[in-house]
Structure 1
């Protein structure tokens, strides 16, 4: 697909909740019953929640319902056709969309349908003719006209899709693929069903990341034993800050993936997530090192390397801070503190600790009893389970889930000489 201009997106699109995936803006007389109809059908078939305004009669101002739909859409797709600028309604809609881009982090994708981007950018040909009429009609409100002109110039400078000489079917499929890739990229991770104790730990790591400092690259290592919640914490942090970076990538299970598929596969994932396009750029690992350094050294990125267990993984994926643009942040989760100490750069260490007694009580209870405290009659076994699990969120989650609704299991503990023996039996069945 032909992408033109600046592909950056703005503030908080990752963490915000949106009512619609896509808002379609178009000139009804030009494309309602042809191109836009086919585009909407393709989006709908893909399961992409798309808002389309099918009202045939419009007033002078955007209706509150339409304004609300624009504000609550993650992506606005603007079909710029020959007569788009002749509609004051469309121009008001466009200006509102661009304001939402700045204030709400909306992503804007212009589609140039049988018009050249330069016609839109400089208001030439049909766009220029439309503004001659607007200037006459709104001669007492030239600020409105200038607002529209500025909006057209801005949208033409965004990363957009140009039909050119291709057939419309292929063009629509490429737009769908692009929209879908944005939605996948912007989708938050599911962190935890019951995120007990996560928020305070997120704030601790945020202090180490120091996002206000944009003149250097920072790496934070989250260390701790297996099951203590390192990956869960990294996902929560990623959800909170990803929208502040032009490029972002969360590489989960680096240890397993590099062993099963090779480190070059992980390098391909990193590059394709941040740059887009083919995921088969890297043939051998040393080639990947060069590509990562050269392609990303000017980009401010967020990179999470989850479950790193060897120094070579760190060296081949994020070898030096200057591989990435100023202001980049790298988060590494690992059980091995020593590999972070051997890294060729400054690393802030965040040691993960187990949950405190009351946090563990709440987490276990939510999983075992669907409440933040144990049911009557199960207080003692809950206390023993918390002590047995040692504050490990994974153990508390799995053991609590195993006991949910299982009165038969809970009652059978009377046949054991001690609760500890009972929990050992349960853990062997569900934790190992």
Structure 2
């Protein structure tokens, strides 16, 4: 065999930088962005802030491309003159491709003294800047359309809006941003199998079903197949790949075993503790359902229920999409496809056995 050893590193948050900051220098470099950068560095967050030495005119240098690729998340600071820079817009395209379309990493938009709708709809100074690019032949129509699409996509992501006339002290605003970033990057990844043969393609297929970029709906996806196919491993790798897109997380391993040993009330307590960050005693499983239905609408949630075995477990732990806030995703692993169908889970991914080539590769890595 001549291929390199398969690696699970792409699922385990191994990045050169924690944060990459995308910004318009003349608007924010010596004020807001500079202060954000300092606080992040002082907090121990590995932050990449590009300077003029890395900017080769309107062309993004290889160093910057590599920094975006190797960053765990990106902050995009939309300001008044942001769209007047083709460099910023090209950098934003790369961030969109790498973080949103690529590995499902977090993008945090910050609207600095500019209305989010102005960015989203390309009105005001954003409309004017794009028109000037077109008139000065700094970009062709296809490139301008791609910028407009990306501005719309990124600006619809939940972020922060700083209105200098309303938001009070800037340092308090920065403190909230840094607190959220720190909570995201301090999440420990789940352990994934050392030899991940075929895993990357499976994760990509399931991620496409999840439609991570959509924040206006709740999506449930089932992963089903007979025992030993790697449903749990795939779910763990998927968790690591998309976790940064959510406010709260819960991966519940082997729900069937937990519920048989401790009861569904204890399982509900674990989920509530992970999602809400509080310990709550559940005396009755129906009371637990009410807590989840009332409180889980407050946050964008990733909930993974591993090894669901019967209808009661699914109904009492994730009974309906209306329990959750828009943008939330629920993933269920089970051996029983009919269980998913009976409970209205429309997106189902069927795990299949490895093909002969993959089987030989996996055998070889484990043997030698």
CA offsets per residue over residues 377-430 of structure 1, 9 Å max, x none? xxxxxxxxxxxxxxxxxxxxxxxxxxxxxxxxxxxxxxxxxxxxxxxxxxxxxx
Residue 23 of structure 1 is matched in structure 2 by 20
Alpha-carbon separation, structure 2, partners of 1:119 and 1:97:
20
Please report how far the alpha carbon of residue 182 of structure 1 lies from its aligned counterpart in structure 2 after TM superposition. Answer: 2.4
Aligned twin of 1:46: 43
1:288 equivalent in structure 2: 288
2:191 touches 2:236 (CA, 8 Å); kept in 1? Answer: no
Aligned to 2:173: 171
C-alpha displacement of 1:124: 2.4
Aligned to 1:77: 75
Q: Deviations over 1:6-32 (max 9, x none)?
A: xxxxxx974464322111011111111
Structure-2 change in CA distance of 1:315 and 1:269 (3 Å): farther
SS of 1:110's equivalent? strand
Q: Which residue of 2 aligns with 1:266?
A: 270
For residues 10-409 of structure 1, the aligned pairs below 5 Å read 14-15=11-12, 17-55=14-52, 58-100=56-98, 101-138=100-137, 141-164=140-163, 165-185=167-187, 187-190=188-191, 218=222, 236-242=233-239, 243=241, 248-251=249-252, 265-270=269-274, 272=275, 278-280=276-278, 284=282, 286-293=286-293, 295=296, 302-304=303-305, 319=316, 322-323=319-320, 328-330=330-332
Q: Check conservation: 1:24, 1:77, Cα contact below 8 A.
A: yes
Where structure 2 has 5 or more consecutive residues not aligned to the other structure, the ranges are: 1-8, 211-218, 323-327, 335-341, 344-364
Assess, with a 3 A threshold, how the Cα gap between structure 1 residues 153 and 140 changes in structure 2: closer, same or farther: closer
Report the CA distance shift for 1:139/1:53 in structure 2 as closer, same or farther (over 3 A). closer
Q: CA deviation at 1:94?
A: 1.1
CA distance in 2, matches of 1:300, 1:146: 32
Structure 2 distance, partners of 1:238, 1:249, is 12
Kindly tell me: are residues 118 and 137 of structure 1, through their superposed partners in 2, closer, same or farther at Cα, counting changes over 3 Å? same
1:293-321 superposed Cα distances (whole Å, 9 cap, x missing partner): 5748xx99552469x9xx9xx96786366
| Mapped partners of 2:112, 2:180: distance in 1 | 16
CA RMSD of aligned residues (A): 4.8
Deviation track 1:49-101 (CA, whole Å, cap 9, x = no partner) reads 11110226641211111111112212110111111111111111112211222
**TM-score where L is the length of structure 1:** 0.55
Which secondary structure does the structure 2 equivalent of 1:162 belong to? strand
CA contact (8 A) 1:289 1:317 kept: no
Cα distance, 1:329 vs structure 2: 3.6
| Aligned partner of residue 319 in structure 1, secondary structure | helix
Task: Give aligned pairs, total.
Answer: 301
Gaps of 5+ in 1: 1-11, 224-229, 273-277, 333-343, 346-361, 364-371, 374-432
Distance change >3 Å, CA 144–CA 174, structure 1 → 2:
same
Query: 2-side partners of 1:53 and 1:211: how far apart?
Result: 31
